[in-house]
Amino acid sequence: MKPAPFDYYAPKSVEEACALLAEAGGGATVLAGGQTLLPLLALRMSQPFVLVDINRIESLKFISKVNGGTRIGPLVRQNEAISSELLRQRLPVLTTATQHVGHHQTRNRGTIGGSIALGEPAAELPATAVALGASIEVRSVRGARSIRAEEMYLAPYATALEPDELITSIDFPEWPVANTVPLFREVAQRPGDFALVGLVGAMVVESGRISRAGIAWFGMGPTPIKARQAEAALVGQSIASLDIQRIGELAIADTNPFDDRHATAEYRRTVGKRIFVRTLSEALNQRQAA
């Protein structure tokens, strides 16, 4: 099939893009990497009146160290994020998660901001933003605001982003390089497929105790899900005497898995607990051995 007719614009500034989104009155769609949008347009599952292509806005392409954290522009390609030495040093779990997004070819076009904006429940990057406590900075003609990642996702593909708003950066708080233990594992039918079950996060270990934890699930409910009970139970605990099985039960308790043609909710719960326990055990054993 061919896309339905639409007006096409390629603004060169954030201000111009915001003006176009405002003028469209909710009838516009933003084009960044296009890895999801273009197939939807071709199938006429998405029929915007206006397409705003933001790829010419150079100010949205950056990775930078800022006071208190790391800032990423929404137009950073996924393969650019993977090859960034700054991200590898400061946010290694983000680098790992991005390596599991789609395939190498799609990562050449897919963007960090596009994945964050879409909010696919089984995708790696929205869950990583939730786990690490990121905030999404957005702009419109009405002004700028910040949305906490854990408040961004409302339902499958439904976010707190207003129709006239444009993501201008994704801001990750500081995770101390020397003391942070990354956590990541996913189960998928084939490499590049959306995860059946996925876990992402990080812990800060100081003097043998966990002082901070950020963990989220993907593929385990209608949105990325923060493992709040497990996080609370981990903080303050000695890694030498941690009851990982109990923490695994708490982690699963926050999920809301579903049945679909790929897996049942019970499969997701069972596998989720197993990968949580295994991932946490392996990460802490490596930490103790270091």
Going through the chain in order, the beta strands assigned E by DSSP cover: 7-9, 28-31, 50-53, 63-66, 69-72, 135-140, 143-148, 153-155, 158-159, 166-173, 180-187, 197-206, 209-218, 225-226
pLDDT confidence band for 290 (50 / 70 / 90)? low
What is the set of domains in the chain, with CATH numbers? 7-53 (3.30.43.10), 58-173 (3.30.465.10), 180-289 (3.30.390.50)
Mean pLDDT of the chain: 95
Structure tokens at 91: 């946010």
pLDDT for res 1: 67
Round to whole Å and give the CA distance between 64 and 66.
6
Q: Which helix (H) or strand (E) holds 106?
A: helix 104-107
pLDDT for res 192: 85
pLDDT (tens digit per residue) in 243-255 = 999 999 999 999 9
Cα dist from 86 to 24, 76, 83, 114, 126, whole Å? 38, 13, 9, 21, 20
pLDDT (tens digit per residue) in 258-267 = 999 999 999 9
pLDDT (tens digit per residue) in 173-209 = 999 999 999 999 999 999 888 899 999 999 999 999 9
pLDDT confidence band for 169 (50 / 70 / 90)? very high
Cα dist from 289 to 58, 179, 185, 206, 284, whole Å? 44, 14, 21, 14, 9
Quick one: average pLDDT of 202-225? 96
pTM score of the predicted model: 0.96
Contacts of 68 (CB under 8 A, 6+ apart): 173, 174
Round to whole Å and give the CA distance between 199 and 124.
9
Closest-CA residue to 62 (of 113, 128, 107): 113
pLDDT (tens digit per residue) in 27-76 = 999 999 999 998 898 989 899 999 999 999 999 999 999 999 999 999 99
Round to whole Å and give the CA distance between 122 and 187.
11
